[in-house]
Chains A and B, each alone.
Chain A
């Protein structure tokens, strides 16, 4: 009752959005004002050299990580100390931002699964001599096991915060990357995210997923609606209302649109709407006779694949972003559903029951040729093709429980990622292919969880009323 849409309550779900919209506008303006620049020419050169030095001397000489199962930064985490950021001015604004910034940096680095964040209680040095590499006694940090450290200082100049962040190699006592940000006091989260992205770039030449969002289904309002939150579960907001049932959200390649299935007009139809618009303006509605479900956007074009049953049984088609059929992709009596594009758009993984139970198949778009991918178990569904290469995640049923598996797109033995924790379904990849979000009922109700691509560091993405399911990870949006 509390979360149901009816009568006068109908307006309520919009309110948080309106507020969010205002905040978003402020943030955009703030971003335009926020200028980040690398310290000085000399220091830039120094930091570049140290990055190179790091790369060749590091145990992680493999350095560049893709989503291959065998090469992973999760195999051994880097020990990072994040001592409390220093407030350079004695005002509440600087001090709060320093405190919050420290916590955010610790949690955001932890979120990646790449780092072991050292417990601050083990610290024997409080950086009283300074936060720069020439003033830090690195022995005090090496001594407690730190391989890297992040230091920060926050200065308030007339209501504007100047935030300096440094990522340092504690073993060699060198600056890896340092940045100075100009920021509004309420934007410390964005500053921390931007710098975390710099850290990952310096280490692994990936920008990470700090500028991404996750769409999912939630019953918080009483029925299933589509929501969107930041990559780390912050700022959940409903982007649909009055859907009756809304499921299967999918981000377009540029993050501009979200497609989903809704029963707003009675039947199962596919809706395409702006990712930033809530409740109001709708784009195309795909409503052929019968069932119109499981939209999946092409990785580079305003094109989607979807399942429609107007021919008499559920088949997969490719469609333009404004709902016109381009091509029928499957041709088989029975169920063909849940398409997921390969990163180059040449192939589509999908689910079919052509051999009895549901299994994952791969279709070559140009030729229509289909090959079966999964053989283990009798019920394998929800394929998600990694945006970074040859791995496909899916959920499979074995011994009465659904778990997440990954398998090479060229076939072979799957690797089980979740186990002994209820049912785990609907995997979706972060755009860098490093993390997977999925739904699980291990707590009882359905929740969205995140783990690394190797199945480690499982944790709940967010807490909100009702049940959450069917996550879909956005591409990099370039907006932190």
Chain B
């Protein structure tokens, strides 16, 4: 009985250890590019390290572009689905990124909290479709662009002032 207990303990310890290891390994990969971007004194001057650093830099740049694509929202005026100059600029950058790959994306249409929930669902639909149409006109395959309206149901900023509302009136891009 006691032996079984100890074996059990060891298995638990092993699993824990593995899990910890994996956690560490993941972290190392994630923080890799940052470390090579600003190399510490100890690693400086070791030529063998340079080549992987360049690859990492390219990967980091791609990752940054991807992050920008996902975080930069197309913003709208109150009760409007019209794409102003700024919004069109954002969408052109999105088109550039989309042209580099084959990712399929979901364009979410969102509204601020003011007004009827129902009307805002329809308005969110118009916003998502306005963004989609602009991208299709720039040559992006419509089949890669799905739209969904969330109306005022998923605010980015939970505040109740114009600053929050301005962030919430948006078309937001999500990778499918």
Contact = CB atoms under 8 A, between A and B. Distances in A.
Nearest to A248: B118
Contact of A337 (B114, B118, B129, B153): B118
B116 A268 contact: no
Nearest to A381: B116
Interface in B113-147: 114-119, 121-126, 129, 147
A220 interface: no
B97 interface: no
A312 interface: yes
B117 A337 contact: no
Interface stretch (A91-99, A151-159, A286-294): A286-294
Contacts of B126: 313-314, 334-335
A203 to B, nearest CB: 36
Interface string A262-293: 01001110000000000000000000001101
Nearest to A267: B148
A261 interface: yes
Interface string A424-468: 011000000000000000000000000000000000000000000
B79 interface: yes
A337 B122 contact: yes
A382 B115 CA distance: 10
User: Which range contains the number of B residues in contact with the other chain?
Assistant: 10 to 19
A30 to B, nearest CB: 39
Main secondary structure of the interface of A (DSSP, over half): strand
B167 interface: no
A425 B114 CA distance: 11
Interface string A311-342: 01110000000000000000000111110000
Interface residues of A, number: 37
Given A247-B153, A314-B126, A335-B126, A293 B148 contact: no
B122 A247 contact: no
A46 B15 CA distance: 86
Contacts of B122: 291, 293-294, 307, 309, 314, 335-337
Contacts of A17: none
Residue of B122, B126, B148, B150 ringed by the most chain A CB atoms within 10 A: B122
A328 to B, nearest CB: 16
B149 interface: yes
Contacts of A353: 79
B118 A245 contact: no
A382 B147 CA distance: 24
B116 A382 contact: yes
Given A338-B116, A357-B79, A426-B116, A224 B121 contact: no
A157 to B, nearest CB: 52
Interface in A152-202: none
Contact of B129 (A312, A358, A395): A312
A127 interface: no
Contacts of A357: 79
B47 to A, nearest CB: 51
A351 interface: yes
A293 B119 CA distance: 10
Contact of A395 (B116, B121, B123, B149): B116
A337 B125 CA distance: 11
Contacts of B121: 247, 261, 268, 291, 293-294, 307, 337
B118 A338 contact: yes
Given A313-B126, A313-B129, A314-B126, A381 B149 contact: no
B142 to A, nearest CB: 11
B115 A224 contact: no
B115 A266 contact: no
Contact of B119 (A224, A261, A268, A337): A337
A266 B121 CA distance: 14
Interface in B63-117: 79, 114-117
Interface in A338-390: 338, 351, 353, 357-358, 379, 381-382
A381 B118 contact: yes
Contacts of B118: 247-248, 293-294, 307, 337-338, 351, 381-382
A27 interface: no
A309 B119 contact: no
A379 B115 contact: yes
A323 to B, nearest CB: 19
B79 A245 contact: no
Nearest to A358: B119
Contacts of A335: 119, 122-123, 126
Residue of B116, B123, B126 ringed by the most chain A CB atoms within 10 A: B116
Contacts of B114: 397
**Ranked 6 nearest A-B pairs via Cβ:** A381-B116, A337-B122, A314-B122, A291-B125, A335-B122, A338-B118
Given A247-B121, A358-B115, 10 more contacts: A245-B153, A290-B129, A291-B121, A293-B118, A293-B122, A313-B126, A314-B122, A337-B118, A358-B79, A358-B119
12 contacts: A247-B117, A248-B117, A263-B150, A266-B148, A294-B118, A335-B119, A351-B119, A358-B119, A379-B79, A402-B115, A425-B117, A469-B117
Interface of B: 79, 114-119, 121-126, 129, 147-150, 153
